[in-house]
Amino acid sequence: CQHSERPIVVKWMLPPEPFIKLNTDASVKNGIGGGGGVCCSSKGDFIFAFTCQLGNVSVLQAESRSLLHGLEICISKGYKKIVIETDSLVLSSIINRQCHIPWSVFYTIKKIHRLQETGVYQVQHCYREVNGPADYLANMAIDGQSQMIEFETVSYTHLTLPTTPYV
């Protein structure tokens, strides 16, 4: 079998000045969801990370609640210019009003839209290969290692952001 597609090189990119970047992810195992995220400055400096248990949810519910939780933390810290990345293409399309909102996430998406009115928040899709730290935190929540934790220092090697290209 021959593929006509060329490999894509993906790399985590710094947000433009004066934005910060929030990467979020979620995971669901046996119907139980967990969310996580990592936030950094336009210089790549770590700001915070979080992990949270989300209960009995679908994948889309977990992804949207994790993103909302991370956005709420950013706003509580006074940030108004945020680039948000998620590896859920469906979620980024819904938030960017490119497709209709499923009823199961309607209220969560409406909360995100209301928060977007208070600042400059860009939601974009990223490949899962560059979202490893957020994925690690989401799985940490499912594995029962935390109910909700917000980190302001990095002590986990899994939380370093991948700056080298991934093919």
Q: What is the pLDDT of residues 61-71, one digit of tens each?
A: 999 999 999 99
Q: Under a CB-based contact definition with an 8 Å cutoff, are residues 146 and 35 in contact? A: no
Residue 147 has pLDDT above 70, yes or no: no
Cβ pair 154, 43 in contact under 8 A: no
- pLDDT level of residue 58 (50, 70, 90 thresholds): very high
- Predicted local confidence at residue 73, as pLDDT: 96
Buried b (16+ CB within 10 A) or exposed e, 136-147: bbbbbbbeeebe
Find out whether 65 and 57 touch, Cβ atoms under 8 Å.
yes
Angle between helix 59-76 and 106-116 (nearest 10): 30
pLDDT for position 99: 95
Among 18-22, 68-72, 119-123, 150-154, the minimum mean pLDDT is found in: 150-154
Cα–Cα distance measured from residue 146 to residue 144, given in angstroms and rounded to the nearest whole number: 5
